[in-house]
Amino acid sequence: MTRGENRQILLQRRPDGALRESDFALAASPMPEIRAGQFLLRNACFSLDAGFRKWMNAGADDNYLSAMALGAPVQSIVLGHVTESLHADFPVGSLVLARASWEEFSALDGSDFAQKLEHDGSFPLHEFVAALGPTGMTAYFGLLDVGRPRAGDTVLVSAAGGAVGSVVGQIAKILGCRTVGITSSPEKCRWLTDELGYDAAINHRDPAGLAAAMRETMPDGFDVYFDNVGGAMLDEAVRHMKLGARVVLCGAIADYDHNDRESGMFHMWEFIVKRASAAGFMFSDYVARYPEAVRDLSQWLRDGRLKSVVDIRHGIAETPKAFCDMLSGASRGKCIVQL
């Protein structure tokens, strides 16, 4: 029996600054054969997460992940069904969220992140990589645990219409906060206030400047900044902190294309005079508390108080464009490739 092909998206070359579709290549390798202790996942969705951009750089090894290898399939969080299994914990038919790659089939052994999910059909499958998946967990624990907002607080969100940002803004409203979102066009600003419930929106490309827009939308500053961007936007934001403000460091897109020496922080002094703090986190540290987040998030989805915003692209060949669109702000909400 021929096992056929396994189409993959390879990291063809190291990105030089801003990512381009030509940094990737579609290829086909033989279908993987599983060994004892492994299972074969037929991938249904790729979760496109901006953070993975960082590990495409040479020497990007850190204590979390290694730099991706050139010519190898690109690492990603994926959602799939087990179609063959030699692993007792992952029988055929299981729905699994795992760290794998942009490929149709992945042979895994469960030693890296791999979580078996229950799926009773009450939400569409893709929701498990969106509001009920890593995106939702990141928004929930980052905002509640690191940001610690109180009702009445002003919560500023960057990449406010992106995967995590769109959930953070809505949770903050549910908690009784005033929300201000930063996005990249007047159209997206209108969408933030009209559809996602933000109290105010800032277009960071507005020629009037970010500083003026922050002063206008937050005359007294913010209590919490949920930061998905880093760099110069973070540097400007810290000049608008209230006393005791908390900055949630969730993403640092500005650091990923690391040849931009202007995208730095030059106002750390503000943290001193404002007695403010900044803290990073990873959703994967909260595994033990996922049920609490899933309970709240699925209730809010059912109530209609939380809208899940997804941008679904179809077919593995669309993955490079989808990932570039997400990083450049051309997508809204969670960007997902469905196979």
- Write out the residues near its own copies by the rule CB under 8 A: 51, 54, 62-64, 230-231, 234-235, 243, 249-252, 255-256, 258, 261-282, 285
Torsion of Cα atoms, 311 then 45 then 228 then 265, to 10°:
-120
Nearer to its own copies, 72 or 279 (CB): 279
Q: CA distances (Å), 334 to each of 88, 158, 163, in order? A: 32, 15, 4
Q: How far is the CB of 15 from its own copies (least distance, A)?
A: 16
Residue partners of 295: CB distance under 8 A and separation at least 6: none
Q: How far is the CB of 20 from its own copies (least distance, A)?
A: 21
What is the rounded CA–CA span in Å between residue 324 and residue 63? 26
Q: How far is the CB of 62 from its own copies (least distance, A)?
A: 5
Q: How far is the CB of 216 from its own copies (least distance, A)?
A: 19
- Say how far residue 102 (Cα) sits from the centre of its chain: 16
- Say how far residue 215 (Cα) sits from the centre of its chain: 28
Q: How far is the CB of 249 from its own copies (least distance, A)?
A: 5
- Residue 197: which region, alpha, beta or left (left: phi > 0; alpha: psi -120 to 50)? left
Q: How far is the CB of 168 from its own copies (least distance, A)?
A: 15
Q: Which two tokens stand for residue 269?
A: 């002094």
What is the rounded CA–CA span in Å between residue 174 and residue 144? 12
Q: Which two tokens stand for residue 311?
A: 């941008």
Nearer to its own copies, 123 or 286 (CB): 286
Residue with tokens 């030699």: 86
Residue with tokens 């040849």: 259
